[in-house]
Amino acid sequence: MRYADAGVDIDAAEATVRRYADVARRSTRPEVIGGVGGFAGLFRLGERFRDPVLVAATDGVGTKVLLQATLGRFDLAGRDVVNNNVNDLITVGAEPLFFLDYLATADLPQERRVEIVEGIGAACRENGVALLGGETADMPDVYRSGDFDLAGFIVGAVERGALIDGSRLAEGDVLLALPSGGLQTNGFSLVREVWGLGKGLGEAHDREVLGTRYEEAGGTLGEALVAEHRSFYPALRPLLATVHAIAHITGGGIPGNLPRPFPEALAAEIDARSWEPPALFGLIQRTGGIEPGEMFRTFNMGAGMIVAVDPRDEAEALGRLPRGSWRIGRVVARGDGPAVRGLPG
């Protein structure tokens, strides 16, 4: 017997890794030492930082990969995993430096694997991040034929004195929301339950559902659901020196993520009248018969990131933030109340 008979084709994998290396060479930084292909990647921190704090984060794409695979948008899976991790890293004010990916699969065609890594490389270049390395694991019997999972690991650095850790938060600070542009990478298990996607009803069923056009989706349901998890780093980078706290609105929604950088004495008061969640969320809620409180605990509801700034910096910040950003609330004394107030449920 040969290894390929057990589901692992070493020759094909080695040819694909050579294509990965080409992507990494196009997605690099001057601090990278050596090439790609060793057991570990090397990155020289250098003398640009006086008192650097290393920052690390890891996250994946979740079951969104099932929809991306059905629609053949493997590149979006790669872009999502980078941008998701970049957004986590910058919540403490860090500059993202290098990224590594982990792709686990069984029988995913080699060309699809390259498309994923091409998406990773493109997002790394857009964020100024080096693609330092990665791992593709062929795991027959753990994954069904053609399935894959994708996770990423990112490392950055920030001057100790420039850390955004919530210590500068104060009662009266304003909270500004940046529009998400979609579901990002959270809530897809519930979405798939609503429409029966990836539930064994067959690829024809899934394609038909994802190809259905809805006015609320602005096109097909599939296009709306797999919209890219955008990176907020380019927009926030010029503002990091004046921002008091940053929350990336991922799994758990606003109530689960906004309080994370807050000290115990402070709370967030949200003005639910300050925005109308994008129509896509209303479509999901209506189709699934989902309670409002459950929607806000599951999805970002249109707020991709929320930042806290001094009221005197509000106008300048809104002028620099992406179009559609808005004042969503303010920082108040917590007292005996909840950490987030003003949301349904």
User: What's the CATH code of the domain at 42?
Assistant: 3.30.1330.10
Same domain, 199 and 101: no
pTM beyond 0.85: yes
Secondary structure of the chain in HEC code, one letter for each residue: CCHHHHCCCHHHHHHHHHHHHHHHHHCCCCCEECCCCCCCCEECCCCCCCCEEEEEEEEECCCHHHHHHHCCCHHHHHHHHHHHHHHHHHHHCCEEEEEEEEEEECCCCHHHHHHHHHHHHHHHHHHCCEEEEEEEEECECCECCCCEEEEEEEEEEEEHHHCCCCCCCCCCCEEEEEECCCCCCCCHHHHHHHHCCCCCCCHHHHHHHHCCEECCCCEEHHHHHCCCCCCCHHHHHHHCCCEEEEEECCCCHHHHHCCCCCCCCEEEEECHHHCCCCHHHHHHHHHHCCCHHHHHHHCCCCEEEEEEECHHHHHHHHHHCCCCCEEEEEEEECCCCCCEECCCC
Q: How many domains does the chain have?
A: 2
Residue 166 lies in a domain: no
Which one of 161, 189, 224 terminates a domain?
161
Residue 272 lies in a domain: yes
Same domain, 222 and 309: yes
Same domain, 258 and 130: no
Same domain, 179 and 66: no
Same domain, 44 and 150: yes
pLDDT given at position 116: 98
Residue 169 lies in a domain: no
Same domain, 131 and 80: yes
Same domain, 180 and 219: yes
Same domain, 231 and 286: yes
Residue 208 lies in a domain: yes
Rg (CA), the chain: 21
Same domain, 263 and 185: yes
Which one of 113, 131, 161 terminates a domain?
161
User: What's the CATH code of the domain at 262?
Assistant: 3.90.650.10
Q: What is the four-CA torsion angle of 184, 188, 192, 195, rounded to 10 degrees?
A: -40
Residue 101 lies in a domain: yes
pLDDT tens per residue across all 345 residues of the chain: 887 777 777 878 788 888 888 898 899 999 999 877 788 999 999 888 999 999 999 999 999 999 999 999 999 999 999 999 999 999 999 999 999 999 999 989 999 999 999 999 999 999 999 999 999 999 999 999 889 999 999 999 999 999 999 999 999 999 999 999 999 999 999 999 999 999 999 999 999 999 999 999 999 999 999 999 999 999 999 999 999 999 999 999 999 999 999 999 999 999 999 999 999 999 999 999 999 999 999 999 999 999 999 999 999 999 999 999 999 999 999 999 999 999 997
pLDDT given at position 13: 79
- Locate 7 and state its tokens: 């589901």
Grouping H, G, I as helix, E, B as strand and the rest as coil, residue 85 is helix
Same domain, 335 and 289: yes
**Full residue range of the structural domain in which residue 317 is found:** 174-341
Which one of 112, 127, 161 terminates a domain?
161
Same domain, 136 and 182: no
